[in-house]
Structure 1
């Protein structure tokens, strides 16, 4: 009987303050969507780091006047190095072919250089990509070596940019979350004020604080759960129409966002939205109407 009464009061409260409820749902949807997108970006950046760092190579570029003996010496040293997993030699001709593929849209640039301008190099895959310093110190001073370049340093700059975007999206989500919390608190205040006489009567007949507060808390939780569901739907639509649709060519440069990560956001956002709304509503009731 008590559960039936509480649910009935929740529905009445939601309908009585329908405009405030809709506003709260929309704000929750936007803030939770931003939070979900931020969490997906965080997971994506971590996946990208794990993938690209496992594929990272060290390039040992040779001087233009390197002799066959020097080249053979470097090759032999790399083949016997315990830090090296795999070595690929790239000749001037192979480097030029790769250059043409990479800049196939810039014909003038391609025509301005030839194979002789391309440096020979060894592409080295390390067993542990963090051991670049040891490779750098062991090969930079060898005769015939022009420079040693670690791709991990280049990737670090890219991930720094992605990390900054990630942090910015979290800040925006936090701001929207604060707005949502204020709106939840305001909605609960309005609902409690509109039922102040009922609350007073319930106190007079001995109703517990928990019983009086529960309908208001459930109103906030219900609106938050609906907002979380809508936020999850927005993330699904973003994957279908943006990541897998119009932005598919761009996202080919990145590791794909999996459906598992997207669907994981539904329970995560529902849990965060429900708990935060419940706590906000309870605190508001404790300090505002003091039932």
Structure 2
């Protein structure tokens, strides 16, 4: 849920970049505001493989807790993931009906001290190699990444 909030906040901030700019009035720039949001919400998610064993899940959790800069690690099983998905997409009951609980992986949400700690974990790449891990997922980790990832893309010309 928190990842969705971060993405929405970043999207709103990037959209604001296209419409206005702040000049020399002592207020933080939009880039500074985006960076602050990233630092305040420094986290990443680790999705487990469908065939991950209980021992692997415990080992992954222990490895995540041992990472430098970790402040919190929380586990989400398939039931909780399905419940969260139904809440997030409640306005689209057709979509919800098409997704089975078994389609959603178990995961860990890892909160970090700051975005620099998350960047270090991403750049090292060791988390994705842990037995039982399908993949770690990182949001953008700096303002330029966010602009590239969430900037409006031109649509194709009509035929």
Secondary structure of the residue aligned to 2:105 is: coil
1:118 to 101, 104, 124: 104
SS at match of 2:140: helix
Is 1:62–1:146's contact at 8 Å kept on the other side of the alignment? yes
Rounded Cα–Cα distance in structure 1 between residues aligned with 2:110 and 2:81: 15
Q: Which runs of 4+ in 1 moved over 6 A?
A: 161-164
Give matches, 1:157-172, under 5 Å: 157-160=145-148
Q: Is the 8 A contact 2:140 2:149 kept in 1?
A: no
Structure 1 or 2, whichever has the larger Rg, is 1
Give the TM-score taking structure 1 as reference length.
Answer: 0.39
Post-superposition CA distance 1:143-190 (Å, at most 9, x none): 1000011112597554348889xxxxxxxxxxxxxxxxxxxxxxxxxx
Matched, 1:140 2:123: no
1:69, distance to aligned residue in structure 2 (A): 0.3
The equivalent of 2:33 in structure 1 is 47
- Output the aligned Cα RMSD: 2.9
Contact 1:57 1:150 in 2 (8 A): yes
2:64 match: secondary structure = helix
After TM superposition, the structure 1 = structure 2 runs for residues 247-266 of structure 1, keeping only pairs within 5 Å, are none
Are residues 111 and 157 of structure 1, via their aligned partners in 2, closer, same or farther at CA, if it must alter by over 3 Å? farther
2:74/2:108 contact within 8 Å kept: yes
Structure 2 spans left out of the alignment, 5+ residues? 1-19, 153-159
User: Going by fraction, where is strand more abundant, 1 or 2?
Assistant: 2
1:144–1:154 distance in 2 versus 1, CA, 3 Å: farther
**1:38 equivalent among 6, 11, 21:** 21
Contact 2:34-2:143 within 8 A present in 1 as well = no
Equivalent runs, 1:2-17 vs 2, <5 Å: none
